[in-house]
Chains A and B, each alone.
Chain A
Amino acid sequence: MMLVLAALGVWAIGWGVNIWVSHQKPGRWQSVVSATVFGVTAVIMWQLVVTGLEVSPVILPPPSMIFTAFVSSTDILWADFIQTFVKGALSGYVIGCSAAFLTALAIDRSNFLKRGLLPIGNFVAALPIIGMAPILVMWFGFDWQSKAAVVVVMIFFPVLVNTVQGLDAAGKMQRDLMHTYAAGYWQSLFKLRLPAAAPFIFNGLKIASTLALIGAIVAEFFGSPIVGMGFRISTGAGRLELDLVWAEIVVAAIAGSAFYGIVALIERKATFWHPSQRK
């Protein structure tokens, strides 16, 4: 009971600090500090409440136990990470994004195809594509190739739709200007239309980065070799080894956030001129 009271105390302190921070002069550090305080408070409360109420580790292990599992099984986690993230998600991401990009360039030359494919692309983007996973596992086998295929299918349409919309982003006047410079198709593509499309393309790439890891992990639920993050999560949950499952989730969270963060960072460097990137 003491520990639960202590958790409430920690919550009050964290809340107080955040209110104090929010009354300071606004600056960049402010949101970083309050987000960190919030996160740390949440983890400490989790630890205190779970140990204080003696919650069974089968239901929710405390963070300390997850940390121990993380440290003691780094080799397993690393192998899973390579199998699922690098081999499955990343290769699928590269293939899917390039295929969607090239298709978008091809479609863009025909107004007819564009008008036909955009509504369908928007429709498909709303479908539960993840359901294709069992079929693709059947076609491409249990190893990472089928996971990459699921990722390709999941991200193709979001990237395609965003790229096609982006290629339309350059204004009529700007295009006419390129025309008066006697610029050819490729010149005006590289110097005007692709840069103008960049914010849209990056939007698609960011959506795809979160979908990629999900696709690779969920596809493993339908069959995988005895390595991989999805395999570990589903078998671990079945065997009630929840500390290992949570450690795997921590890896997935870090990998997912880092992947998204890297794409967002490249976006900031590449489209620094766009209003949404201004401070």
Chain B
Amino acid sequence: MGMRNILPVFTVVMVIFALWYAFAIVLNKNWAEDKATRGGYELSFSELVADTWSQKKPRLPTPDQVAGEIWQSTGVAAAKKWRRTAGDPLFARISEVLNDKRSLIRHAWLTLSATMLGFVFGTGLGILLAVGIVHNRAMDNSVMPWVITSQTIPILALAPMIIVVLNAVGISGLVPKAIISAYLSFFPVVVGMVKGLRSPEAMQLDQMRTWFASKSQIFWKLRLPSSVPYLFTSLKIGVAASLVGAIVGELTISQEGGLGARMLQGNYYGTTLTIWAALILAAALAAVLVSSVGLVERITKKRMGFVQ
């Protein structure tokens, strides 16, 4: 995002916030009016607005309510735990704070670890498969169409079954979620890597051959380096998909916690603030993950000489 885009982006964000507050009035109006009729009093417009922006279980909480909820369930919760464990050794206190069941930090951490585990597996598998596809015609012909078909299958819909089956075999905890994440992130990596490994032009390949380069030399010195930009584009898509996979996995095994589990919990108890806080934190996590991959991309490309 260039500097000249800052003002337009800022304006659009402000418009979104204004619309958000307006919708909060519209959606929460009924409840406020119901309360007024039952209590037998009249609401002026400003009272109505004030009520719709500060309900306990609003249909649509306002941005400041969501921010407050996030602060309550991260910072305030952590501070409370910190004070309560006074006197314990430092590391025990830190781990107490991070493992506090009430704290969103723990749930975000659970989601993040499942995401990362799945992302690493999925990326590794995707790269291996891409190397096979590029070097073996039979594999290209037979596997590639199924890799593409596999993505038109709504894999997220399989989440409950995958988790039940893995539980039946005795695998639980992080791994089932990570498997769903891995499945979602492997596809962009396969497609991007196949494209990238094939991106050297015929002239470059011929040049390697005139140097009498072996197949593995061509791979390490030409194909792999030229695939790097493609790989990073795929990694950015893959890490976002991986997070979605982990969250949907947590919807099914909610007893272990995680941001997805918080959303489901909020759904059960009708506490919209819980859902929104988990949702915004998930969005922040996605932003952090994608931009860290972007940062590694920029550094790597610079060191490899893709950008001057």
Residues of A with Cβ closer than 8 Å to B? 15, 18-19, 21-22, 30-31, 34-35, 37-39, 56, 58-60, 112-117, 119-120, 123, 126-128, 130-132, 134-135, 137-139, 210, 213-214, 217-218, 221-223, 229-230, 233-234, 236-238, 240, 242, 245-246, 249, 252-253, 256-257, 259-260
Residues of chain A within 8 A of B137, CB atoms compared: 22
The reply to whether A30 and B278 form a contact with Cβ atoms under 8 Å apart is no
| 3 A-B pairs with least C-beta separation | A116-B8, A38-B142, A116-B12
The reply to whether B161 and A233 form a contact with Cβ atoms under 8 Å apart is yes
Interface string of B72-107 (1 = CB under 8 A from A): 000000000000000000000000000000000000
Residues of chain A within 8 A of B1, CB atoms compared: 119
The reply to whether A256 and B154 form a contact with Cβ atoms under 8 Å apart is yes
5 A-B residue pairings within 8 Å (CB atoms): A59-B165, A131-B260, A222-B267, A233-B157, A236-B161
Report the nearest B residue to A129, measured CB to CB. B244
The reply to whether B59 and A223 form a contact with Cβ atoms under 8 Å apart is no
Instruction: Describe A's contact surface by its main secondary structure.
Output: helix
Interface string of B130-147 (1 = CB under 8 A from A): 000000011011111110
Cα A246 to Cα B138 in complex, Å, equals 29
Residues of chain B within 8 A of A131, CB atoms compared: 247, 259-260, 263, 275, 278-279, 282
Beyond the given A18-B141, A128-B247, could you list 4 further A-B residue pairs with CB under 8 A, ordered by the A residue number?
A116-B7, A130-B156, A131-B260, A252-B154
Report the minimum CB–CB distance from A208 to chain B (whole Å). Answer: 12
Range of interface residues on B (Cβ < 8 Å): 35 or more
The reply to whether B154 and A214 form a contact with Cβ atoms under 8 Å apart is yes
Report the nearest B residue to A249, measured CB to CB. B158
Residues of chain A within 8 A of B5, CB atoms compared: 115-116, 119
Residues of chain B within 8 A of A128, CB atoms compared: 240, 243-244, 247, 279, 282-283, 286
Report the nearest A residue to B260, measured CB to CB. A131
**Which B4-62 residues have a C-beta within 8 angstroms of A?**
4-5, 7-13, 16, 27, 59
The reply to whether A113 and B12 form a contact with Cβ atoms under 8 Å apart is yes
Cα A252 to Cα B146 in complex, Å, equals 16
Q: Identify which of B12, B154, B163, B278 contacts A217 (C-beta below 8 A).
A: B154
The reply to whether B165 and A60 form a contact with Cβ atoms under 8 Å apart is yes
Cα A257 to Cα B145 in complex, Å, equals 12
Cα A114 to Cα B8 in complex, Å, equals 8
Cα A131 to Cα B140 in complex, Å, equals 36
Residues of chain B within 8 A of A31, CB atoms compared: 141, 144-145
The reply to whether A222 and B141 form a contact with Cβ atoms under 8 Å apart is no
Tell me if B227 counts as interface (CB < 8 A to partner A).
no
